[in-house]
Amino acid sequence: MPFELIRHTDMAMSLWPNKAGRKADILSGQGWLVGFAWLDADAAFSDYRGHDRTITLIDGPGFVLRFPPGTPALDVAEPNRPRAFDGGWPTHCAIRGPCLVLNAVTRRPRISHSVAIDGAAAFAPAATTVAVVLDGEVATPSGTAARLDAIVLRDGASVSSSAARMAVIRVSGAEA
């Protein structure tokens, strides 16, 4: 099936590996994941040594990520702007208030990812492509995707909407 529609309301909630927060995985495989996380309190991030990580603020007033000495802090205040960092850095998150974020995490060097904000998404050969609706709606043959729903694209499929914005995550080198 070229389209898989994953409703946000159907995503199972679980704890982060360090038990400091909650998350809902959209799609994952050996050495990678794409999913939501709720930042409800200041906390250390889980150790993803050997992984690249991209975090995108979806809702909330933002947060500051503090890394090891000598590494500049990352102030994340602008929604829908992907921010990449080394998942193995000891990271402390100081929130300005509760936030919802979208995460992409991949084990290097075998697996990599990209995150872009766009109104269109297309299947990329040799990649797993996930489009998360940030605002608006996107029609697919599997149904209409609303805000925070995800669309997994396969076999040359594409989606677009002039009235919607999506986070388009491409994971290369991984099997879905």
Question: What span, in angstroms and rounded, lies between the C-alpha atoms of 157 and 142?
Answer: 12
Provide the pLDDT confidence category of residue 18 given band limits of 50, 70 and 90: confident
12-107 classified as CATH 2.60.120.10: yes
**Average pLDDT of the residues of the chain:** 93
Q: In the numeric block, which tokens belong to residue 77?
A: 């205040």
Q: Mean pLDDT, to the nearest integer, of 41-53?
A: 94
Question: What span, in angstroms and rounded, lies between the C-alpha atoms of 16 and 51?
Answer: 15
How many Cβ atoms from other residues are within 10 Å of residue 43's Cβ?
17
Evaluate whether 26 touches 171 at the Cβ level (below 8 Å). Answer: no
Q: Which residue did the predictor score with more confidence, 132 or 2?
A: 132
Q: Cβ contacts of residue 160 below 8 Å, gap of 6+? A: 119, 120, 121, 138
Q: Mean pLDDT, to the nearest integer, of 132-146?
A: 93
Residue 176: what pLDDT?
A: 58
Evaluate whether 99 touches 57 at the Cβ level (below 8 Å). Answer: yes
Question: What span, in angstroms and rounded, lies between the C-alpha atoms of 114 and 100?
Answer: 19
CA separation (Å) from 135 to 72, 78, 94, 95, 117?
31, 15, 26, 23, 11
Q: Mean pLDDT, to the nearest integer, of 170-176?
A: 83
Indicate if the pLDDT at residue 10 is higher than 90. Answer: yes
Q: Which residue did the predictor score with more confidence, 119 or 40?
A: 40
Region of residue 80 (left: phi > 0; alpha: psi -120 to 50; beta: else): left
Residue 171: what pLDDT?
A: 95
Place of tokens 């994941």: 33
Of residues 62, 65, 55, the one with CA closest to residue 169: 55
Q: Which residues are paired to 35 by β-bridges?
A: 25, 103
Lowest model confidence (mean pLDDT) among 62-66, 104-108, 111-115, 118-122: 118-122
Residue 3: what pLDDT?
A: 83
Domain span(s) for CATH 2.60.120.10 in the chain: 12-107
Q: What's the pTM value of the predicted model, to 2 decimals?
A: 0.93
